[in-house]
Structure 1
């Protein structure tokens, strides 16, 4: 008898549209001889709905669904509830693949619901998801590992009530240019590069629209390198890939809207640098209590080839330009095998 897998996508986050694209890749690569795939979309407003086809995701009509959906947190049930016209039906859930990026999906919230329900799910648990989503707390963990990372200042929203003092504190610790990032946003949403005081103020205000915690970092001049991590008790790192951004930095627009941005698998790097990146990726993944998958991002400085940690993503993209599946494909793991291996790891974790 087939098992039921629920694929969650969309989400009440700035990465909603990216999630919808990633979900289509995942859905197409699930083994349908083993699983009946049930699609549940979460609108930008946070409404959960049953979706009847992958075509509805592609054309966006899924958001018009009249069938509501909810995962019961009742441990004894392990079921999906579908609501329509004052009635409901339930479907048994064997496993969930939350293809959700960013807040309210990749940050431990949905993972907490699934933990309550005792339903196996793909990816990292509550702790790893939460601390990895929060760039400030990730930095605190990585600092203990002795892995090099950019110098930073942690800015809280209330500090911006006195913008002049907040800027002075940043300028006391960092030289321009600096990067300003919301601590808990993904896909480079709300990220700016500030070259002076006026740009810094504007960047802080933009980041504050996305999060109450803001990370201000020194600029690292180097190549943007990414490494994929896969596994549970036995963790493996892929080779590395390089981001060649068409813009000054790899922001949301450069990533998804600029065709001149490119990703390169197995770039020309010294072998010892590649191994340092791979080793650091696994150490960071384990330090945050990762399980299943993550993509760990680094810089390699142009001067001296020094490896500098940037951030970790516990549910990386599965779009056509996403590095995570590309890196494993380069190691002989096709996307269908990768997706189904991730599902098997969900059972291993439970």
Structure 2
């Protein structure tokens, strides 16, 4: 390594050497919008061992390189820098931060500059919106709390604290990167199927948002989500069990003791749609599963009625709009294959009320 002491990197076996700053810039450009890159010691030879492994959909750069100075243009997404050896000093949005061996830096999209010693690191390009969606999913939230948004969109460089919980997550992150390195020798397709990129996002979300790793806090979040919502959850359970029956907004109001306006608001807030849209979506999903596992002799009409549709034409139109295939074609394809065990579904109702059905 050009006379420098060897620095370990999880992707050591993949690294290749360049002595060209331009080639180094091109390699780092895959994860960073680099404005400039220079050797911190111009009188000494430049060296850079590098690779750009893909961990599922996660774009990364693994580098062991000589002391450097760099400046980064602004971007929409975030950057995570996992440091295995050496140190990196950054300045962003008027804030300076130093990160050394076995540390982690998360940098928001604003432009920043940095200077390093000889160091070994892995740089991850993080999609800001994906990180937010994963944090919400982990907490079973329909919207992102403002305090979380502020942490997931920091104004300047951020690094985890020294708590045992944070350090355990950071250790786990390095272990996942090591697993990704080992498996990359075998099959990148396997990396995608294992969804290690999703695990990395989850670990980073838990590092940034402490509530995601504290069971008591998470319990409080879920309790707040359920506050005043027990009736709503009971209503959803009732609807799921009676999708095959006639359903009207009047029934839903009476069952839940919500006013019609409150009912519409509750569905929009919790499920992002109206009661009618949700019921239609659930009926179509049930029909799709049934059409994929039919019994011999079953027809589209039978399945549509058993899933709560009284009009075959409406069912066919809704199904095609949702799944981009005719229900008759899906049924024919499924029946042409080896018979599968049918789903346990309720018998179709004898008649549905055309005026009050949702």
TM-score under structure 1 normalisation?
A: 0.22
More relative contact order, 1 or 2 (CA 8 Å, 6+ apart): 1
TM-score under structure 2 normalisation?
A: 0.21
Give the structure with the larger helix fraction: 2
Give the structure with the larger strand fraction: 1
